[in-house]
Structure 1
């Protein structure tokens, strides 16, 4: 039995593969083309934490955790021949698809990056879904990390997947409409639609895990050895809001809140995100939901101002003097929007939130204060720069 994890060199993909391998005797096959490392370098940034090579990571997992069931294949999922060979040779019973260009700001730089993001993300997903059909692997559980960004920012509470639509006295359950706000987020909207179609046509069991903004530096496994650390991006293009704010605090910069910052967005800790994906990957056919199931991978909604104030409070415990300043918002968004999003299905999956936002920020500062020199050397990357 084989679990295939794509994007296994990435921020979520690596600790997910590590947890799965640590909990099963099944073979865990990691796949990546290391493009994330190239994208971050392209925008002049770097991971705050040193990222070991994949070979060193796997070796550290065996030496530290006793994990000996991980192996790695380098390849590009947009190449259909590679995907077909991968599936034919390894015949996975589960695919955890975490490979994508994940940055909305990167996808908005220009038409070239928008086209690249859409081709890269959607082609990879289509190749995997059609590969399962054409290689007689339609019993394989397909788990993809999409994004809560497919929902946009509606004024009503967001359901976990779909909604009931009424028209002229008749009603039916329908998928949530794509309301994505970036070229990246729209790739995940298309992925969600393609997964629905693949389930309908091929009867592939699918878990669409709509991942919220993820924060944190550690999971239970990565704490055991520095070689097991996952990456931590803090620049404008690849650093999420919490990570960028924490890095600014470590570098002695004020935390830069765009606009009023009262808008509430969905968040999940790295620990809780990894746990949900591992639970799905390790579930057998009798335990997982039948058909296509959508999970909102969210533990709570937090306003940007609350994030900044929490970081300032926790930062004081690390002897950091953190100021919060407001700047003109370069993004077209409602700065007072109060998002409400259902997460009952995901909460049941992970057995409740394991790490609070405050605990996640403490983890981040514990890690980043060790690498302050790296952050300070790239502090010009906190704000958008001019790229060709």
Structure 2
């Protein structure tokens, strides 16, 4: 028996695999085809933090944390024959499925990338779910990181997964309607529906972990050795807004807030996201839910202007004089949106928040100032148009 972590070379996948391996004697198998490294290179960017090869990472995990139970299988989850062999050989008790093309902007570049994103993401999930059914492994706990982006931005509070529909005097619980805003986010909406169908038809225990915008550079395990660091993307395509703001600060540019900046987005620290996934993977089969459970993996929503001001304050500790400026919002969005989202089930899973936003941003700036040359060399990959015009003058 083993625990599989798909996308185990990625930003969330690698530290999750590392945490699980430090807490169990069970075999933990990293599964990846290393496509993420290629996608980032394709858009002309790179990880700010140098990423060790997977062999170096595994060596460091054994040397530093004693993880002799951590290993790699390289392959493409969209290939049915590979998935079949993977499941038959390793007979997983749990699968933590973090493998995906995760960028909404990348999926929006053109039709080719939209098609690639949808095929890559949904085919991998379908292959795993059907593989569990066809190889008589329906007791395997299937845990997928979907996204809070499947909810869109409704004007009412978002429940943890479900909703109540009322019509003609009758009421029933129904899945929350998919309101995705990109070709990438729609893949996770489809995955959520496919997981629900797989649970209904195959009775697979499933945890749909709707992960919020994730920030941070370190977890408890990755701090121990530079070879264990996870990747850190700061470009427009693969870097989240907080990380792009931090890159602007390190490169000496003001932080550009669109419009009022009071629109709130759901966030979770890397440390808290990894903790939630690890706890699900390590649940005793007799104690875990045997149904489909939705977790809103979010600690709190944060306003864009608060992100900027928090980074401005943290930057002062590194002698960075950072301004916050408001520019015209090119997006059609409510600039005062509250983004209320229930997270009781997720918070009960992790017991308590392990890292807050201010500490996370201090960590990010501590990391990025070490690699300032890399940031400035790729500034054209993260500067908004308003700052690009200034840079060219």
Q: Tell me the TM-score range normalised by the shorter chain.
A: over 0.9
Could you tell me how far 1:332 is from its partner in structure 2? 3.1
| Rounded Cα–Cα distance in structure 1 between residues aligned with 2:197 and 2:51 | 37
Equivalent residue number for residue 273 of structure 2: 273
Give how far 1:253 is off.
1.1
Instruction: Give the TM-score normalised by structure 1.
Output: 0.98
Q: Secondary structure at the match of 2:290?
A: coil
Report the counterpart of residue 95 of structure 1 in structure 2: 95
Deviations 1:65-99 (A, max 9, x none): 11110110111101111101111111111000000
1:56-71 alignment to 2 at 5 Å? 56-71=56-71
* 2:300 equivalent to 1:296: no
Map of 1:236 onto structure 2: 236
Identify which range, 250-259 or 59-68, moves more after superposition. Answer: 250-259
What's the counterpart of residue 252 of structure 2? 252
| Structure 2, unaligned runs of 5 or more | 386-393
Tell me by how many angstroms 1:330 deviates: 3.4
Distance 1:39 1:302 in 2: 28
Q: Which moved more, 1:7-16 or 1:163-172?
A: 163-172
Give distance in 1, aligned partners of 2:100 and 2:327: 30
What is the CA–CA distance in structure 1 between the aligned matches of 2:27 and 2:11, rounded to whole Å?
21
Match of 2:78 in 1: 78
Q: Map 1:1-388 to 2 at 5 A.
A: 1-383=1-383
Q: RMSD value over aligned CA atoms?
A: 1.0
Matched-pair contact (CA < 8 Å) for 2:204–2:290: no
Q: Secondary structure, in 3 states, of the residue corresponding to 1:93?
A: strand
- For 2:389, the equivalent position in structure 1 comes to none
Confirm or deny: 8 A CA contact 1:237 1:384 kept in the other structure.
no
Counterparts of 2:8 and 2:284, CA distance in 1:
22
Deviations 1:314-360 (A, max 9, x none): 11111111111223333332222111000000000001111110010
Whole-angstrom CA distance in 2 between matches of 1:266 and 1:134: 37
Equivalent pair of 1:51/1:230 in contact (CA under 8 Å): yes
Query: How big is the shift at 1:384?
Result: 6.7
SS of the residue aligned with 1:271?
helix
Distance 1:89 1:337 in 2: 48
Q: Is the 8 A contact 2:40 2:238 kept in 1?
A: yes
Supply the distance in 2 between the matched residues of 1:146 and 1:344 (Cα, whole angstroms): 18
TM superposition shift of 1:170: 1.0
Rounded Cα–Cα distance in structure 2 between residues aligned with 1:245 and 1:89: 44
